[in-house]
Amino acid sequence: MYAANSKLATRSKLLRGLLASTLLLQMGGATYAAETADTTYGDNVAVAETSAATDILSKDNLPDLPPKDETAWLHSLNPELTDAEPNTVDQIASESSESGTVAAVMPTPMANNANGVPEGERIADVSGRITANADEAPSVIEDLTRKILIKEIELEKFNLNYKLNSAKQGRWKGERYAMFNEINAGMGLTGSIISLWNRGTHLHKSSGVKTYVQEDANIIPMIGAIIGAGAAVLEFGINEYHEYEASTKGFSPAKARDHVNSLKGEINQMLSEREQLIKLEESAPLLTGRVEVDNVEGRVLTDLRDQSLLEYQRFHIGSRKLLAFQQCQYFFDFTKNVTNAIGYDFAFLALHRHRRPWNGRAGVLFDVSGALTIAGPILSRVYAKGMGEYHRHYTHDTIKEAEAKEVAKLEADKTALDTAIHSGKYNADVTGRIVDRFSLYGDQSKMFQDELAKASSERNKSKLVASQNVGAGIFIGGNKLASGILFNACGFPQLYNKGKDSQTSTRVTNHLLFAASVTGAVGSGFAMGDTLRIQVQGEINRHKLASKGELPGQLVQKRLTQLDAMQARLQAGH
């Protein structure tokens, strides 16, 4: 009895809705006709029609008709509904819509489908792009999962190409700059050896020092310093050209960040759509196992997005720090070589024009050059670290969702997914597709772990190299600074310039500048040896890595090939 009354009440509500829709349509037509005929009285007509409709639609004016009279009543409202059999609410709503009568009622639940979900119940994602019912949700989730994974692979590929193009290092960059530095240091050592021989053989008879030989001892290292300064400018310019080239390809810092933000937005949108569909799946009792796996797989997809974003930040900061260090170091190399060259020029003029006070000027410039040699490696690294922190802040908004994520989180979620898909709650076809994706998740996780391990190894090596460079800079710069002080000692004191005992002045000057040549020779010799050591070690290491296929460029290309294969597999499975 209760079920019959409930059914009757539902049908009555539906019929009221149909009647209301019909009357509203008729009222709208009458109002439009009245307004067309006489705009002056249009508003009054509309008010009258509305008032009449309100009275008609009141509960008292709508009789509760028994089910047997429904067809007759519908026919009285709309003759086209004569053959209508109101078996379901959805059918009446559909037929009423086709005939011009709008049913202003909500559909009621229908019989459950194979998944235990009411048929006709549909949900749209937050963007409005996807609409599906629970029965369709699993297939739509499958498609979305594949698209999300393809988009995440696209983000990883962009990261790798960004690494290749940002702060690009040419194959012969190190060798080229080392060659110019060897020439510079070699010419400095040659000048020091000539000075040692010329002054050393006349320590007890300073008048025997040959001026033209000593002039050559200053000209030769001056030319070497000019070559060194030119090399620094050349490498600085090449770096700037590579930056311009990267910008034209879309790999400048700003363009790269914008592109990553765009990809992240697309991935986030699809993840949100996927979550909405999973909520719809939860309404199906027979899809409980599917919901469990889809939720875990969603966490894996989120972890992959986070790792890709963190990887982008590592590559971005790494390239910015490298470029900042190199450009700053080239600047210091340029300034130290320029001041060194000018110092040698003053030393030459002191001999050529017989103006010993100019040795003091040369000494000041040698002091500056030595100080720059000491400070260069230290300040360059401080500047690079500062730029790294700036770009960490610069990319913060891009990766803020992933700040606390670790690869361990991806591994844990991947393990949970493996457990879920082998729980036996899926049919073989669905399980096969998820297992296939699971292998891709494993490959990507390994890629991230390998990249992190390599980055950690490179950081440890860079710290060692940085310590060696700082130590070498202090030693070489210290020798140059000592040489400058000796030039100051014989150039500025009037005792050695205007004293009555010219022999004493000549002897002291010769002894002091001989000592300066000793320190210069030690510094130049050490610089040559250290540069050679670095290059030999670098070439040996490069040869070993190349034979294993582990050079940075080789690893990037290998990973790009793997990602291309993954992308092709996913696209083929469409």
Determine the average pLDDT of the residues in 243-252. Answer: 94
| 62 Rama class: left (phi>0) / alpha (psi -120 to 50) / beta | beta
Separation of alpha carbons 252 and 400, rounded Å: 21
Using the predicted structure, report yes or no on whether residue 119 has a pLDDT greater than 80: no
Task: Count CB-CB contacts under 10 A for residue 241.
Answer: 11
- Which pair of structure tokens corresponds to residue 70? 């429904």
Neighbour-count burial for 434-460, b at 16+ CB within 10 Å, e otherwise: beebbebbeebbebbeebbeeeeeeee
387 alpha-carbon distance from chain centroid = 15
pTM assigned to the model: 0.73
The reported pLDDT for the residue numbered 424 is: 64
Contact yes or no for 425/281 (Cβ under 8 A): no
The reported pLDDT for the residue numbered 44 is: 40
Strand partners, 118: 112
Neighbour-count burial for 36-58, b at 16+ CB within 10 Å, e otherwise: eeeeeebeebbeebeeeeeeeee
Using the predicted structure, report yes or no on whether residue 230 has a pLDDT greater than 80: yes
Length in residues, the chain: 574
Separation of alpha carbons 397 and 400, rounded Å: 5
Determine the average pLDDT of the residues in 202-216. Answer: 88
Quickly state the pLDDT bin for 429 (edges 50, 70, 90). Answer: low
The reported pLDDT for the residue numbered 129 is: 56
Rounded to a whole number of angstroms, the CA Rg of the chain reads 42
Separation of alpha carbons 536 and 528, rounded Å: 12
* Residue 265: its H or E element: helix 253-281
Residue, of 203 and 75, whose pLDDT is higher: 203
Q: Any idea what the Cα angle at residue 75 is, between residues 73 and 77, rounded to 5°?
A: 75
> Percent of the chain scored above 70 by pLDDT?
72
The reported pLDDT for the residue numbered 220 is: 96
Could you tell me the maximum CA-CA distance found in the chain, to the nearest angstrom?
141
List the beta strands (DSSP E) in 281-413.
none
Select from 374, 384, 365 the least CA-distant residue to 472: 374
| 404 Rama class: left (phi>0) / alpha (psi -120 to 50) / beta | alpha
Tell me the domain boundaries of the chain. Answer: 2-107, 137-572
pLDDT tens figures, 7-33: 444 445 444 554 444 444 444 444 444
